[in-house]
Amino acid sequence: MPDMNPVYEKIIEDIADRDYTVIENLFDDAILRGLKNRLLQNIKSEKMKAAGIGNRNHHLQDHAIRSDKIHWIDRYSENQSEQQFVSKIDNLSAYLNKTCFTGITDFEFHYACFEKGTFYKRHIDRFKNDNSRKFSVITYLNERWKKEHGGELVLYMENEEIIIPPEWGKTIIFRSHLIEHEVLPSHTRRLSITGWLK
Ligand code: OGA
Ligand code: MN
């Protein structure tokens, strides 16, 4: 067994209980700041591209369903913050595999930017032709988020809707094939990193 990690243990307990978890302190502020800067650079240099609704190999665009822009993170990036992000994800995946036999063998992450007026309608994070996504992981990079900014994540549970404000440093993890979810229209630029453990 690896050394017990209380943050990871809370993730495991929550997911076993209710298929999702919300974590406030998965990444250090310095990493988050570096990632936010990279995302802002990607926006400036026009690297962000309209997101699709198929997987990476079957790219379909439908702006009635989602209107955010994304840029995939290179897991072999030379950027320090991206390296730290990737090693944290590696570390979490290894912990889940050792303690819960989750069989995670891969992951993919992208930056996402929802500009004012954009959204992602209710959906599930799995494709008809690809069931490899096990866990969805989203981290928000919005400092000073306010209610009037909108862009909340809604998780559609069996008997209730969980509404999650996209606040700075908050990470959501949920079972990709189980939880339908939606990004409500954002009334200001909304920044995040989203990915999947596969
Ligand atoms: C997605 C998604 C949710 C969010 O990219 O598939 O559902 O809160 N994102 O950004
Ligand atoms: Mn989704």
pLDDT tens digits, one per residue of 74-113: 999 999 999 999 999 999 999 999 999 999 999 999 999 9
Residue ranges around ligand 1 (CB below 6 Å)? 112, 120, 125, 138, 153, 166, 181, 183, 192, 194
Which residue has a Cα nearest atom 8 of ligand 1?
153
**Which of 164, 172, 167 minimizes the C-alpha distance to 138?**
172
Number of structural domains, the chain?
1
> What atom of ligand 1 comes closest to residue 172's alpha carbon?
8
**What separation in Å is there between the alpha carbon of 138 and the centre of ligand 1?**
7
5 vs 58: CA distance, rounded Å: 38
According to DSSP, the β-strands at 190-197 and 135-140 are antiparallel
**pTM of the model as a whole:** 0.95
Condensed to tens digits (0 to 9), the pLDDT of residues 31-63 reads 999 999 999 999 999 999 998 776 665 666 677
Please check whether residue 58 lies inside any domain of the structure.
Answer: no
In a domain, 77, yes or no: yes
Question: Does residue 137 lie within any of the structural domains?
Answer: yes
DSSP labels, 57-116: TS----TTTB--EEEEPPTT---HHHHHHHHHHHHHHHHHHHHH------EEEEEEEE-T
188 within some domain: yes
Cα–Cα distance for residue pair 188/117, rounded to 1 Å: 7
CATH number of the domain that residue 81 is part of: 2.60.120.620
How much of the chain, in percent, has pLDDT values that exceed 70? 94
Q: Is residue 60 part of a domain?
A: no
The DSSP call for residue 184 is P
The parent domain of residue 125 ranges over 6-48+65-197
Q: Which ligand is nearest to the CA of 67?
A: 1
